[in-house]
Structure 1
């Protein structure tokens, strides 16, 4: 696990500036504090920061083949590297190390671009093949590991694990992409392949990019997708038995390490399932950790303790003050672009806690995406059921009118918040789902943005991201379509980004066995009715886990990783929030409607309306601008 960077002359042969490459590499020192390495040759520079996990003595990067004609920099873990090593040795390849990185080099020599589908794991890597004059980049199937890149005005390509590596380059434009701003204030993050800057991109999950010296860059190429191919009919009992077998195998494949290994244990279904499987596979007690909050309404560590007691884990629990708002600027520096998921704060803390005892931690991320575990999945299918009873030509005017006249009632119990439901019923599946997951509705963003900024958007709307993915979905099942959308947007853009940056800030590797691609492929083929049944998400998953976890764990209300944001913004963050939201540098961007910003602050602090999400997203945008310099806002041309 590490950080990678590089510079590549697409025209060929120019010298790479060592000082620039070194600065890029050291900007992500936290990702690999054990050691660093650089390789430079005409037209190419690779850098690597290492956090040693496998083959601690060797395996330094950049790593070469025997004649140094092929070199790789790699971030991640290849879980089937031992089997691939045996296969490649049988084909005549000689290995100098026992690490997974060298497998990539020889796999490239043997199979070229076709090596990527053979890799099982989480990875982002770049290969330079001098003989073929080819630079090849690849990112894992679900986007567990990041890859940012930019084509520079001087004909160079730059890449790095984190966006901050590219921000070391003086000739990288800091112009903000208006579409990324619209996306951010709709989703709370900037979805792939965009970054907040017009000049930089993220390599999409499940994609590769092949560049040849002297040739124009082609678009990235997709090598994998979530299949959603239905299985032959199975009885529920067969499904549950096979699920456990496959889950255990996925967890087992993620346990290879030469350093201390443990697991996050929140007390939710997903992390508890991973710990239960680990306990059955390990001779020693599993190292687990959880954080609790001093406010019991946000604390679920008691459930984590139940699972720890059941499986006799070596459990570590720390109580965190819910007023942990001192991390705002730290998070802005970590994420390099606006990021509004406030659960990044407790995630940062649990990674900090885990690193005190282990170097690798398994997490339960991916369970909700695989098994339709989010509340919004239930709501979307409920709305879809109503939609199916009435054609869109009747629904749109009827529910559209009701949505407009019904008062917005965020303060009321869920059953009385009909405005959002009416608005969703007036839409199709994708519009309704976008409306449900947006952190700020279209009308709120219209108020938030200035007239001039809306003109710059040229009619662009954030829903286009979801529409694009829905059009490519390999299924026509409504629940599968929204799961597919989640796996392309929320999973890599929010969940996996959050965990990668928070863990790497503490030189901790986090592995996600529920996102093992073989497990994901199999689960995607299960019928929707096995995932969401009678209004209950994760049905088959919970049924399969009944022999391993109590009903208290399986069927309690989902809490999430929440913090009391609204109270912070009315209390201890009251003044700093006002200063940030009305910061002249923020207003000078020309993005925001100053009158509406002031109105939100006054209404929220008086208790007249709850603008928590909107104010937090603006607060984090302002922190991003400050960390990257106010000049980052100069994108109006």
Structure 2
């Protein structure tokens, strides 16, 4: 969770040190263990350093090579250190151990950009090559470490771990990017993964690298998940053993810390599997110090509460448990401070959980935070399997799986099939509210509400005519129907939304000195799960079947055999309505932030009234939330 920043003038002008100082000041919270700057002529690199691994105690960044040709600044953790050390002919047992940054620098000097596929772990780095007169940079495969940049023909190139550092520069303006605003409002425009809310600021996408010289900025992908790779295991036992080994190692390498480790624990399959695996690994290693677990509970909203499941995990794997009553405070708590960290309007209705729990991890001395974020996307619920079975004529398998699903959910198989086939047709447009609602529909929990598939193609009732006209050239094209479970899985695991959420969590974690680590987002996990046949993902009515089977004996039985998935929606609706009535009234009456420039006032009034009368759908509520958070953010911009 270190912070990196820098400037480069390809025309040879010297870097102004006061500009670097201003950038550094905005990132000081990311570097309590040292803030250093290297500057030479037209280049300046900086790092606000946070120690989160034992090896990092011997690290000082920016780091110059012995030849002086290369200078590196980085926010990184390398997980395959032994393999890299061996490949580079370096001593595994050196005392003191070689820090990760030095290992990366050695790898770059040996292989150049070809080193990137060799690196396992999370990283964002920028490297100056004095011989070429060029900057190189890269971001890890799943985009866990952030990297933003700005370019001007007149002023050159700037980069930073957080947008706020770039906005200190006089040539980086406050003009908003219409696409960024539209994406925040869940409008179906083309989703450029490099887009941010600010026109002058770009994100380096996950799995990409960049080069900068006098010709400008060039980016290219160095890794993308391969949707054509097929893994055909000889037996269930073989694939279960492989999944278990990869998952346990993904957790193990992320436990590397010389400070206490914290983990989010909801009681769902994703977070429970990580906490259980961490407990098992530490027990096998003879580590007695327990994890710190962080849980949001909902005593007042039973539909969102998972306490029986998280208690089952804590009984199996004791931890220092911190509970936050998430239904008893506003989802907009400390709003101004939160969005100052985010450098964007708050898109996440349940971000207040992180805001309330992260400081508790810090109070325990933790510097590492494990999170099961979107493990179900990485593993896949397997919902594409049903339509695939139908298309391939595997009707007996289809009927058997549907019957098993119906037996577990108490729902007849025919309406289940209709929902799933509709999902396969519309699924490519599915937004963040659609999948949870689909799962509830399939389990018979939401019998009447309309399905919020995708973002509505008719913008007229929502956006102002001028904004709609501005966005019309950016309208996302229709996507072809899903062709297979693997095709469906690949689309979900490469959605920009998946990675944008990580970019929201990172600055909050950094605020409390926490390095965010996501085992399910390990590149090896993504590659393995995407390659599996559909029958490994959904079987006998169980979604994420491979996770349940592979972690049998590690997961508590109550979690392994739970049918449902957590639904924080009711908890959010409860708290939003209970604590934010005044802001909702102000949104309609006062036009805060000039929000009527973007969103129609009559729609806002209608959406507010429908929400208060309990007649709105989920998409409408989330869009109302995002309209409000955009308005509040615009007020303080």
Q: More displaced, 179-188 or 510-519?
A: 179-188
* Structure 2 counterpart of 1:362: 370
Shift of 1:196: 1.3
* SS in structure 2 of the partner of residue 458 of structure 1: helix
2: CA distance, partners of 1:622 / 1:613: 14
Shift of 1:625: 1.4
* Structure 1 counterpart of 2:635: 626
* C-alpha RMSD over aligned residues: 3.4
1:430 is the counterpart of 2:428: yes
* Structure 2 counterpart of 1:455: 469
2: CA distance, partners of 1:609 / 1:87: 58
1:331 is the counterpart of 2:335: no
Determine which of 296, 299, 304 is the counterpart of 2:305: 299
Distance change (3 Å), C-alpha of 1:581 and 1:172:
farther
Distance change (3 Å), C-alpha of 1:536 and 1:207:
same
* Structure 2 counterpart of 1:287: 291
Residues 213-292 of structure 1 aligned to structure 2 (within 5 Å): 214-218=214-218, 220-228=219-227, 229-282=229-282, 283-285=286-288, 286-291=290-295, 292=297
* SS in structure 2 of the partner of residue 369 of structure 1: helix
Shift of 1:432: 6.2
Residues 172-187 of structure 1 aligned to structure 2 (within 5 Å): 172-186=172-186
* Structure 1 counterpart of 2:355: 348
**TM-score, normalization: structure 1?**
0.83
* SS in structure 2 of the partner of residue 305 of structure 1: helix
Q: More displaced, 300-309 or 95-104?
A: 95-104
Shift of 1:494: 3.9
Asked if the contact 2:593/2:633 (under 8 Å) is kept, the reply is: no
1: CA distance, partners of 2:134 / 2:162: 23
Residues 499-514 of structure 1 aligned to structure 2 (within 5 Å): 499-514=505-520
Determine which of 594, 602, 615 is the counterpart of 1:595: 602
2: CA distance, partners of 1:88 / 1:522: 27
2: CA distance, partners of 1:225 / 1:588: 37
1:559 is the counterpart of 2:563: no
Asked if the contact 1:577/1:619 (under 8 Å) is kept, the reply is: yes
* SS in structure 2 of the partner of residue 587 of structure 1: helix
Which string of whole-angstrom CA distances, capped at 9 and with x for unpartnered residues, describes residues 118-151 of structure 1?
Answer: 1110111100011221200100001111111111
Which string of whole-angstrom CA distances, capped at 9 and with x for unpartnered residues, describes residues 172-231 of structure 1?
Answer: 13222222222222279976211112222111111111123x22433x111111124112
* Structure 1 counterpart of 2:319: 313
Distance change (3 Å), C-alpha of 1:98 and 1:126:
same
* Structure 2 counterpart of 1:395: none
Shift of 1:310: 0.9
Distance change (3 Å), C-alpha of 1:432 and 1:384:
farther
* SS in structure 2 of the partner of residue 159 of structure 1: strand
Q: More displaced, 260-269 or 95-104?
A: 95-104
2: CA distance, partners of 1:446 / 1:35: 52
Asked if the contact 1:384/1:429 (under 8 Å) is kept, the reply is: no
* Structure 2 counterpart of 1:486: 492
* SS in structure 1 of the partner of residue 552 of structure 2: coil
* Structure 2 counterpart of 1:399: none
Shift of 1:321: 4.8
Which string of whole-angstrom CA distances, capped at 9 and with x for unpartnered residues, describes residues 471-494 of structure 1?
Answer: 9xxxx8532223222222256434
Q: More displaced, 120-129 or 274-283?
A: 274-283
Distance change (3 Å), C-alpha of 1:352 and 1:560:
farther
Distance change (3 Å), C-alpha of 1:99 and 1:341:
same
Shift of 1:287: 0.8
Asked if the contact 2:76/2:101 (under 8 Å) is kept, the reply is: no
Q: More displaced, 190-199 or 311-320?
A: 311-320
Asked if the contact 2:342/2:507 (under 8 Å) is kept, the reply is: yes
